[in-house]
Amino acid sequence: MKLLIDANLSPRIAQRLNADGRYEASHVRDHGLLAASDEVILSHAGATGCVVVSADSDFATMLALANLRSPSLVLLRSFDHLTPDEQADLLLGNLPAVAQDLSAGAVVSITTERIRVRSLPIRARE
């Protein structure tokens, strides 16, 4: 699985995910996108087949409003209470459980206490 780590998270997360060997992770700065808009980052992730990993819920909103099926998003919640290594551990411990969802197109919210998965495209609740 290819992962694109957003600017609001540490490049250390990409390093840890790569070191694990199961993931191909890069940070937005590796692509010259450190100051890029969320729209540009989302477009880059879609074009390169990456799952966006962020703490920014704006990505989920953009996916929903545009009725997109990809790219998938992993949203780290309450990330500011965790070190980059703890964030990487949280991802490493939970990504295997949601890998199929992410491959199919999903927004996955992860906290230290739970995981929530919403398939893409996100439909308005009736």
Question: Model confidence over 47-81: pLDDT tens digits?
Answer: 999 999 999 999 999 999 999 999 999 999 977 78
What pLDDT, on the 0 to 100 scale, is given for residue 124? 64
| Calpha distance 16→81 (Å, rounded) | 18
pTM across the whole model: 0.95
Peptide linkage before 121 cis (omega within 30 of 0): yes
d(CA 33, CA 91): 22
